[in-house]
Every structure is written in structure tokens, then in C-alpha cells.
Amino acid sequence: MTWTFGIETGGTFTDLFLVGPDGQVFADKIPSTPSAPERAAVQAFERGLTLADASPEEVTRLLHGSTVAVNALIERRAGQPGLIATQGFRDMLYIGRQEKSHIYDMFYRKPAPFADRANVYEVAERIGPDGGIVEPIDRDAVATVVDRMIAETGVEAIAVCLLHAYANPAHERIVRDVIAERHPDVRIVLSSDVCPVHREFERASTTVINAYLQPIVDRYLSGFATSVGDAGCAAEPLIMQANGGVLPVPATRKRPAGLYLSGPSAAVAGAAQLAAQAGLPSLITLDVGGTSTDICLVTDGEAHETGHGGTYSQVQGQPLNMVMTDIVTIGAGGGSLAWVDDGGMLNVGPQSAGAAPGPACYGRGGDGFTLTDAMLCLGLLADGSDLPGGIRLSLDHAKTAAAPLMESLGVNILELAESVYRIAIANMAEAIRTVTIRRGYDPRQYALFACGGAGPMVAAPLAAELDVENVLVPPDPGVFSAFGLTAAGLRMDFAQAVEQGADLMKDASAFSAQLTALRDEAVHAFLEQGVDPGSLTLAYTADARYAGQGFELRVPLDTDAAMADGAVHVANEFHGVHTLRYGHSFADQDVEITAIRLTASSPSPAILSQWKTLATGQAVDTRHIAVGGDETEARIVDRAGLTTETPTPGPALCLEPTTTTLVPPDWVARVDAFGLLHVERGTA
């Protein structure tokens, strides 16, 4: 007996998903424990074993995603790291790009970096942009600087970001060796390891964020691995990365920022796999949880990643230049609070009731009116129904929380609930337009893939607002991120900066040699993880721009053509990418390459082709609901009873243990051979 086990810890719930040796599936969710997130993860492990009647020794593949990194960055509750910079570059983090995100705000203050200026120390050295040593580094001088930093600041982690280290990491490695020799308990992060590409500010910020997270992530992963090991699990945990792959705990510790948005990335990976099976490889993923909504574009089976057009992930206003699934997150979830601003306008989110106390209808002390309360008042959820974690919904509690808003706005309960519901959907629609229309993609050419506990309840009205014809809902959508973990394979990303005028810009054989060097680096890294290089899938890209442009676009490369034609192939592909993004290209302009990248991945074992939703025990019935301002009777159906031959016309509510799917009037629901629920415009 062997089991694959995925555990994803979110802000409100912790999801678990088990797949057994014969394809049997067990899924559930329990409340998260924000004050000690590892506790909920271990509780989920124990809960899953109980559900499956399995022993911990039978778990051969254990995968985990967590919000520990994103929470630590948002809350800024960790100790500040140190930063060692080249002499004269102490202020590169604080000068930044001198951008002002709110140009009309007279009181605007730039977001603070994740390292205090008092923790930044300089060393005398200089490497040129071509990798040549302009000024050698002195080990004794470095030792003096490091000793003074530790004595004066007591930092737990040190980021090292020296000028042009992407071209030659020798000086950074000397600093690393000195720190390790003299202060072995201090954690060290080198920019040449985590971000070996151009742009000092972004590179320094990325290195500092990794150093900031390293103590927290180290402690969290150690606690989780130890706890499941003590429980009898011999499998080494694999940790979900923000790039859509997984890595063992030791590799994750080296780049802890890889945990940023790891849970939402798991959902995207799972969605891409399932939808491709069903013949719908282009998706807009909509993951609506208790705290936030996460949106990502999947085109032709490939999730979009950061790095397009010079855009980086932003963490509290600081750039994080790593290859990551390009997820847009907004504060619109089931726990999002409704409130009235100074102008008397109703708003929803980004403030959230969170896991504790949660929405008012949970009956756990929450007194704010949330999106979940609104959906209960609209009839999309049933009064007195049970949610995972021992939660029973109370319509009376929701109405009590609504009273102050009703009085302030002069509306009744249905008008308030409908307004909250529609505002949340409008916020989600605007976020989807950001990742589609504003980037040159037509949302009408995509299916909307709804998951998370609240996603299926808003998906069809949201699709109607975007003129999208098809909504996909996977089985057990409320725990879909945990499924995505089980579908993810090992993945690592590698990069090499390119200087203008370098041989590979003119010589195809030099370009080919650089591709080969990246491949050899990937093979070595996977061999260290015990992975057969023959199982790897390699995908090359290049960061390119027209001469004179300030930022790059990422260009997918055909390996054979790149090996044969070098930079000429990059230029030919770049024109097409530029046209897609901006609507035009300049075929007569020179194209510059600033970096060559390689993504190496080893696929997940094929564990599941389809699964069935568990029955809820809910009898077929009707319920009074309000949709689009109109009150109507909706059929209540148990999703487990739906078949491929029996479409379900709206208005209807499809119930399953982790969520409810709304089928509005003039829409119809059907189940395909893979267990996916399709909600489409039209009649049965």
C-alpha cells in the first residue's frame, strides 16, 4: 500500500488530499492555525491518515504548500537580515527605481526594504560587467566587516550582493566562506545563487528577501519534517515552489522565497493538468479562498510566469526577481468584509475576517458582514449547514452583522447581500482583465477554471460579466490546491546573464555552448536530488529587447533551432512575442539578449486520471435563492449523482462536501468523462 499525500495550508483553511494505490481519493479541510501554521499541517496529516485508515509508513510521497512565507513578508514579523554590498553601493536598496506608485498622494512614502539601512555594510572590491576583477577583495578586511556586523546587529542571516556578481561570483563566494568560517550559525544568501542576472536593485531586493525569510522557513520546515517523521512517515517532504514545481526540504531552504504564493501555484499546476486532459488547455484560473482570490492565465497548457515586459513580483512594494507563476492576488475571499467609506460607498475587502474569528455566520465571534454572510443571505448557502472543521452556518448571525450596514445604506438584507456579492464579482472581473485584456489576451478565448471554497459560487456570474462561455469546476474544488500538490513534479530554474558584445551574440556555436552549460548545471543539480537526468524535460527561454528598450520580454526558444542559429533564432522569435504584447514589432531593429534561462523539470508520477466527488447525503430538493436581483426557486442536486448523460439546467445548486456550484438561469451544468463539471451558457 502506497499513498500520495498533499497538504496545503492557507490563511483560513488547511486542505488535504490523499490518493491511494488503487486511485481511491480522500479529501478534507480543517481550520488553519495562523499563530502556529505548522500545527494545522500536522493535524491535517493525522486527519488524512484517519480518513483513509492508512498508516504513516504507507505514505511514500508527501507534498506540502504553505502561506508561511507570504504571511511573514506581509506582516513583516521577522528580524531584519544583514546585507553586504560593494563599497559605494550601500544605498542601492533605498534609492531603488525612484518610482512613485501613487503619483497624486502628497504624503506618499516609499515601501521600506526588508533590511534596515543600519544593517548594511560595505566591502572594498569591484568586478566589472564582463566578469573581470577590477579591484581584488581582501579576506582579512571582509573578516573585520563581518565580525563588526555580527557584533553590532546580531543578525541571523546575511545577504551578499556585490556589483556584477552575476558575471563572476568569485568575490561573493569568498565572503560566504569567511562568514561560514567565523560565524557558522549565521545563514548566508548569495545574489549569484538566487538571482544571477542584471539590475542591482532587483537583484539586491531578491537576495535580501531570501535572507529575510530563511530563518522563518528553516524553523517551519524543520518543525514540519520532524513532526511527520516522528509520526512515522519515512517519505521526505516535497515543498511546493512558486514556479509550479516541488523541491525537497534542503533545496527549499536555499531559496526560501520560492515558497511565496506556493499554495496558489499548486492550484494552477493542477488546473493546467486536468483541463489539458479534458481538451481545454487555455484557462483563467480562479481560486477563491477565505481571504483572497488568486488569478492566473494558462495558455495552451502553460501557466504564465513573471518576467514579461520587465515585470517582477512585488512583495510589499519590493521586487522579487525569481521565476514564478504569474498570479494576481486580490483581497476578495469568503471572509472579505463589507464596509462603507467616507463617501458613503459600499466596499468589499481587502480586509478579511480571516480564520479567527471568521465570517459572522460561523458563530465564532465575528461581527463583520462578509461575502460568505452575503451568499448565505442570498440562499447560495443553506442556514444550519455544516462546513469542514465543525462549523455550522447561522443565518441569524449573518443578519445581525448586516444590521449596521443596512441602517447606514438604507437597504434591506437582500439588497445588501446582492450588492456585496456583485461588488466582489466586479473586483474579480477587474483583476482578470488585468491579466488578459491589458496584456493582449482575449478572455472569451479561455475557460474559467473555478476552485477554492468560494470560487464555484461566483464563477458563472463572473463569466457572464467577462462574456466567457464555459466554467470548469473540478471535483472537491475546496481542496484543489492540495490536489495540485500531488500533480506537481520536481522543477528548478537556471539563468545566465549575457553582456552585450559577448561572443554568443555573434557566434551560434558560443550560444550553443551556453545552452549546454546550463543543461549540465541542471543535470548536476538533479543528480544531487537523486533524479535520473533522462527523466528531465528541458525548456529554454531568453530575456530579450530591442536596442534602447529599458526592459525585456521572455522569449520561448526551440532547442534545436537555438542550438543551430543562436541569437538569430532569438531575434526571430522576439518579434512575434513583441507583437503579441504590444501589437507591433520592428523587424529591422537589433535585438539584445540580456539573459538565457533554462527550466528543468521531472514530471510527477501519474497517480490520477479522474476522481468522483463524494456524496453529500443531501436529498434532491429546491431552495429559494436570489440571483441578479431576482428571487427564484433553484434545484438542489448532489454533484456525486450527476452523470455525463444528464445535463442539469439552471437555476440550480450543485452540492458537494467542500463547496456549492451555482448554475444560474439560462446556464446548464454537465459532467465530463474526467469528472470535471462544466457550467455553460444555454439550455439543456
Q: What is the CATH number of the domain that holds 114?
A: 3.40.50
* Residue 611, domain member (yes or no): no
243 falls within a domain: no
pLDDT attached to residue 493: 92
Q: Which helix (H) or strand (E) holds 527?
A: helix 508-528
Separation of alpha carbons 233 and 227, rounded Å? 9
Per-residue pLDDT tens over the stretch 83-93: 999 999 999 99
Residue 441 gets the label, from left (phi > 0), alpha (psi -120 to 50) or beta, of: beta
Maximal CA-CA distance, the chain: 80
User: What's the pLDDT score for residue 304?
Assistant: 87
The pLDDT, as a whole number, for residue 309 is 44
C-alpha cell of 97? Answer: 527605481
Strand pairing of 25-31 and 13-19?
Answer: antiparallel
The answer to whether residues 226 and 212 belong to one domain is no
Domain that holds residue 627: 621-681
Grid cell locating 211: 535572507
Q: Determine, yes or no, domain membership for 101.
A: yes
Which of 217, 244, 270 represents a domain boundary (last residue)? 217
Whether residues 129 and 177 fall in one domain: yes
- Per-residue model confidence (pLDDT) at position 101: 73
CA distances to 218, 250, 253, 664 from 214, rounded to whole Å, are 6, 12, 7, 47
Q: Are 130 and 499 in contact (CB under 8 A)?
A: yes
- A 10 A CB-CB count for 497 gives 23
Within this chain, do residues 84 and 208 fall inside the same structural domain, yes or no?
yes
**Is the sign of the CA dihedral 458, 464, 466, 467 positive or negative?**
positive
What pLDDT was estimated at residue 438? 85
Q: How far apart are CA 156 and CA 115, in angstroms?
A: 12
Residues 92 and 103 in one domain: yes
Write down the pLDDT at residue 104.
Answer: 85
Same domain, 549 and 575: yes
Whether residue 526 sits in one domain with residue 652: no
Closest among 607, 531, 534 to 236, alpha carbons compared: 531
Rg (Cα) of the chain, in Å, rounded?
26
Confidence (pLDDT) at 1: 64
In a domain, 339, yes or no: no
**pLDDT, tens digit, 9 for 90 and up, residues 485-505:** 988 889 999 999 988 777 778
Do 521 and 591 belong together in one domain?
Answer: yes
329 in any annotated domain: no
One domain, residues 529 and 585: yes
Q: What is the pLDDT of residue 613?
A: 56
Residue 458 included in any domain? no
Helix axes 413-435, 455-466, angle to 10 degrees: 70
Residue range 584-620, pLDDT digits in tens: 999 999 999 999 999 999 887 755 555 555 555 555 6
**Do 590 and 503 share a domain, yes or no?**
yes
Predicted pLDDT at 684: 58
Pick from 87, 95, 311, 308: which is nearest to 201 by CA? 95
Name the domain boundary from 540, 567, 602. Answer: 602
DSSP 3-state of 49: helix
Identify whether residues 137 and 192 lie together within a single domain: yes
Among 234, 259, 294, the domain boundary falls at: 234
Identify the burial level of 619 via C-beta atoms within 10 angstroms of its C-beta, where 0-12 means exposed, 13-18 middle and 19 or more buried: exposed
Give the SS3 label for residue 552: coil
Read off the CATH number of the domain in which 570 is found: 3.30.1490
pLDDT at 433: 95
Cell representation of residue 35: 499563530
Bond before 651 cis per omega within 30 degrees:
yes
- For residue 440, is it within any domain? no
Task: Classify residue 549 as left (phi > 0), alpha (psi -120 to 50) or beta.
Answer: beta
Q: Is residue 585 part of a domain?
A: yes
The position carrying cell 470560487 is 455
Contacts of 36 (CB under 8 A, 6+ apart): none
Instruction: Measure the CA–CA gap between 36 and 89, rounded to whole angstroms.
Output: 38
**In total, how many domains does the chain have?**
4
Q: What is the spatial distance between Cα 30 and Cα 13, in angstroms, rounded to a whole number?
A: 6
Judgement on whether residues 66 and 85 belong to the same structural domain of the protein: no
pTM: 0.86
My answer on whether 203 and 228 are in the same domain is no
The enclosing domain of 51 has a CATH number of: 3.30.420.40
Determine contact, residues 232/62, Cβ cutoff 8 Å: no
Query: Given this model, what pLDDT does residue 618 score?
Result: 56
Low-confidence ranges of the chain (pLDDT < 50): 308-310
pLDDT value, residue 263: 81
Helix (H, G, I), strand (E, B) or coil at 445: helix
